Amino acid sequence: MALSIVRGNPRLDRIQVVAVVGGSTKTSTIPGISIAGPSPEGTLYTPTLDLEYLVTGRPITLPVVPVSPEGLPTPALISRALVDLTRASLLAVDSGTAHGIKAPHIAIPSAVVGGRIDEEPGLPRGAAERIIDEAKILGRNLARGVIGIMIGETIPGGTTTAAAIMEALAGRGVEVVSSSSNRNPKDLKRRVVEKAVERARRCSSTYCIIEEVGDPVHTAIAGIAAGAMEAGAEVALAGGTQMGAVLAILNALGYDTSKATVVTTRWILEDNSSDIVGITERFNSGLVVAAMSFSDAPWSGLRMYEEGYVKEGVAAGGMMALALAKGATPGEVKEAIYKEYRRLLSLVPKNR
């Protein structure tokens, strides 16, 4: 089946709002940590370009089509392609992009670019509590009058900061997170996380721990989810293993994580270097997988997803699952994605 409920009994057909939270962390500039950009410094532009493209159909800040020279597209392609099939309201949220967003969006007032956690705190003192409180207000307002809300992410280097959050709050992180690369740089991540967690040992509060090891995106997502839960809405976390960091924050703040469902892709579920099932079991949360395949795609760029590249991001798994839950067939989902990919390829300069 194209839609697989691994844990829990979620009703994705009730989702009416999809919020995708973007932000940057200087952790992504560590060479070898992330391939979600043309260079380590280039990763700081990725959330900006992802959200601009997701909302408007094209990047604005830079005239860069979100397809690599090898044809590998951003996962935002998947989410953008499925907006109509999901019949949900789509919202971009800025929680600390390095270069802003030149498209309609909501900004978290205390948003800040995250630090390089192997050398400095991930967030300034006091920022974690402010971001969470502000995001709660947003979550409560988004959930007012709706049954369900889905929250996604775009943050290069996010699996590393997520691993640090899980390690510091729940005791196990690096071993269970995935990577946008087909070769998960676990040794490098471990060295970064160990330095961050060592500083966090001096903390006496959850907020202090988040500030030492975390980032603005997972912090804001936890706040939005908390606010939506308080408003009585069902919460779906559309992302991969880094949603374990959101669950760890919610759990540490006293929220019932069994009321949250992680919605992801088959590529994450089948990734041997990570453990999305173990993460959701640890927090007793639901797990839904969009078991789509691009093995028959006419383009090598999309087939690279089957080789372990990208895997998830920008709510891609959530949007596929949502479209399927609302009655679209796997064929319709793939045709929408392929149609959008053709459009993107038509925008790529011929002399590229």
Q: Which tens digits make up the pLDDT trace of 120-148? A: 999 999 999 999 999 999 999 999 989 99
- What's the chain's average pLDDT? 95
pLDDT reported for residue 205:
97
pLDDT in tens, 9-51: 888 999 999 999 999 999 999 999 998 888 999 999 999 999 9
Residue 352 has pLDDT above 70, yes or no: no
Rg (CA), the chain: 18
Enter the pTM of the model: 0.97
Quote the pLDDT of residue 326: 96
Could you tell me the residue ranges of all domains in the chain? Answer: 3-347
Phi, psi of 265 (to 5 degrees): -105, 165
pLDDT of residue 322: 97
- Taking the C-alpha atoms of residue 74 and residue 67, their distance in angstroms, rounded to an integer, is 6
Is the confidence at residue 224, as pLDDT, over 60?
yes
pLDDT-derived band at 348 (thresholds 50, 70, 90) equals confident
Residues 163/253, Cβ–Cβ less than 8 Å: no
Write out pLDDT tens, residues 228-238.
999 999 999 99
Q: What is the pLDDT of residues 317-341, one digit of tens each?
A: 999 999 999 999 999 999 999 999 9
Calpha distance 282→296 (Å, rounded)? 35
Q: What is the pLDDT of residue 69?
A: 67
3-347 placed in CATH 2.60.40.10: no
pLDDT, mean of residues 52-65: 94
Does residue 54 have a pLDDT over 70?
Answer: yes
Q: Which two structure tokens, joined as six digits, stand for 142? A: 């988004």
Token readout for 171 is 């005791």
CA–CA separation, 278 vs 244, rounded Å?
10
**Residue 301 is which amino acid?**
G
Does the pLDDT of residue 350 top 90, yes or no?
Answer: no
Neighbours of 9 (CB within 10 A): 7
